[in-house]
Amino acid sequence: MSTPDLSVEQLDKRFADHVAVDRLSFAVERGSFFSILGPSGCGKTTLLRMIAGFTVPDSGDIRIGDRSMRAVAPNRRPVNMVFQHLALFPMMSVGENVGFGLARRGVAKAERARRAAAMLERVGLGGAAHKRVDELSGGQRQRVAIARSLVLEPTLLLLDEPLGALDLKLREHMKIELKQLQAAFGTTFVYITHDQSEALVLSDHVAVMNHGRFEQIGTPQQLYYEPATPFVAGFVGANNRIAGRALGVDAELVELVTPQGWKVRARRSGSIAAGEQVAAFVRPEVASIEREAGQLPPHMTRHAGEVQSLLFDGANSAVLIVEQQTRFEFRVALPQTGRLADLTPGAAVFFGFDPQRAICFSAPDGAGGGHA
C-alpha cells in the first residue's frame, strides 16, 4: 500500500454539551472512494469540516499527502469540497465558477478559460462555460461543483452529502455518474452521507460512524455480511432485530428468548454468556416464507405466523409477518418469482431462516437501534 492520501490521528472535537468526534484515527488509501456513513448528528459533518479546515480540532492531527494540516489555513490546503447545496457562485457564469480557484492561484485569464473549458468537457458539459448557474439542471450543477474542485487537482475531494437535495431518479443517476467520475480522475474521494445505499454503491471502503466514533471500517460487502457491531447491523441494510436474553450458548450458535417468549437461534459474534442481554439480526432476504411448514428448507428454523401487511416495492417487496404466539413483527423478502404475490393480510403462513446466516451480538443496554 502506498502512503495514504489522508490520515487522521487521534482526532478529537468536543462542543459545549457533546462529543462530536471522539479520538478518531483512520487512513484513506490513495485513489480510493471512501465513505463515512452515519445518522445525522453522528459527527460526520464536523469531521469533514475539520479536514477542510473550517473547524479547528481540539487535539489530534490530520495529515494530507503526508503533510500535517495543523497550521494550514483552509484556503491553503490541497483539499477541495463539494458542498451539500453545492454553493455555486450565482453571480458568476459556469466558466467563471470553474475558473475561480485557478484565478486565485494567479493563472492568466486565457489559460484559465482554456482549462475551465477542458474540465467542463471532461464532465460532459462542453460549451456550457458561458451559461448562468441557474440555467443548469440539478445534475448539471452537481457536475459543475465537482469540476470547480477537480480543476485544481486536489489531493483529496470532500463531498458533503451532495446528492441529498436531488430527487430520487436523478440521485440514482448521479450515483453512477459520481463513481465513473472518480474512476476517470483517480482522485481520492471522501464522501459523507446518511444514505446507506449511496455509501454501499459508491465506495471502496465505508466507515460507519456513530457518536463520534467509527463502529466499523470495511468494504460494503463486509459491512453488509459481517457487521461488527449491533449498530452496523441495524444501520446498514434492512434487518430484523430480535432483542432478548441468551438462554444457551455453544461454539457457534446462541439461543435467545424475547421478553414475550419467542425463541430463536443465531450465529454468535463475539463472546456471549448465557443469561446476557443480546440482539440477533436477520436480513429479510435470508428468511423464507411458505404456506406449509413442510415446504421450508430443512436447515431453517420454523415459525408459524400471520401476514400483517404486504410491502410491495418491486424487487424490494416484503411481507410483514407477526409470529403467532408472541406477536413479534418480522419482515421477510417476497420471492422474486411472484409465487406468493397473492398473499392477503390475515393469511396463515410459516416462515424461517438459517441460524447460521443470522447474527447475534451481546447488547447489554439494548444497543443497536431498531429496524433500519
Partner 1 sequence: MPETVAAASWQRRMMLAVLLTPALLWLFALIILPHIDLALLSLRERIAPRTYVASLTQYRTFFAEPLYWGVFVRTAILSALATALTLLVAFPVAWIIAKVARGRASSLLFVLCLIPFWVSETVRALGWLILLRESGVLPTLLVRLGITAVPVELLYHNATILVGLIYTSLLFMVVPLVSSLESLDNSLIEAAYNLGGSGPSILRQIVIPHAAPGITSGCIVVFMLTLGNYLTPNLLGGKNSQWFTELIYTQFIVRFNWEQGAAFGFLLLALSTGMVALGLRISGQRFVDVMRRA
Residues in the chain, total:
372
Among the listed ranges 68-76, 184-192, 312-320, 356-364, the one in contact with partner 1 (CB under 8 A) is 68-76
Residue from the set 40, 75, 221, 337 that interacts with partner 1 by CB under 8 A? 75
Among the listed ranges 87-95, 204-212, 238-246, 326-334, the one in contact with partner 1 (CB under 8 A) is 87-95
Asked if 166 interacts with partner 1 (CB under 8 A), we say no
Interacting residues of 351 by C-beta distance below 8 A, sequence separation 6+: 287, 288, 289, 290, 296, 302, 303, 305, 321, 330, 332
Asked if 83 interacts with partner 1 (CB under 8 A), we say yes
User: Which helix (H) or strand (E) segment is 27 a member of?
Assistant: strand 19-28
Asked if 146 interacts with partner 1 (CB under 8 A), we say no
DSSP state of 86: B
**Binding-residue total with partner 1 (CB under 8 A):** 24
Task: Name the minimum Å distance from CB 132 to partner 1.
Answer: 13
- Pairwise CA distance, residues 64 & 30, whole Å: 10
Of 129, 121, 134, the closest CA to residue 91 belongs to: 134
Among the listed ranges 9-17, 108-116, 146-154, 322-330, the one in contact with partner 1 (CB under 8 A) is 146-154
- The single residue listed with the C-alpha cell 450465529 is 267
Asked if 152 interacts with partner 1 (CB under 8 A), we say yes
Provide the 10 A C-beta neighbour count for residue 124: 13
Residue from the set 11, 36, 50, 81 that interacts with partner 1 by CB under 8 A? 81
Asked if 112 interacts with partner 1 (CB under 8 A), we say no
The CA distances from residue 172 to 85, 163, 169, 178, in Å, are 17, 9, 5, 10
Task: Name the minimum Å distance from CB 180 to partner 1.
Answer: 24
Q: CB nearer to partner 1: give 109 or 299.
A: 109
Asked if 138 interacts with partner 1 (CB under 8 A), we say no
Asked if 85 interacts with partner 1 (CB under 8 A), we say yes
| Phi-psi domain of 53 (left: phi exceeds 0; alpha: psi -120 through 50; beta: other) | left
Asked if 71 interacts with partner 1 (CB under 8 A), we say no
Residue 162 grid cell: 451532495
Asked if 15 interacts with partner 1 (CB under 8 A), we say no
Q: CB nearer to partner 1: give 7 or 84.
A: 84
Q: CB nearer to partner 1: give 31 or 78.
A: 78
- Pairwise CA distance, residues 281 & 41, whole Å: 24
The CA distances from residue 72 to 51, 77, 195, 255, 284, in Å, are 11, 6, 31, 55, 48
Residue from the set 2, 16, 40, 105 that interacts with partner 1 by CB under 8 A? 105
Asked if 84 interacts with partner 1 (CB under 8 A), we say yes
Q: In sequence order, what are the beta bridge partners of 320?
A: 309, 331
Residues lying near partner 1 in the complex (CB under 8 A):
52, 54, 74-76, 79-81, 83-85, 87-92, 100-101, 104-105, 148-149, 152
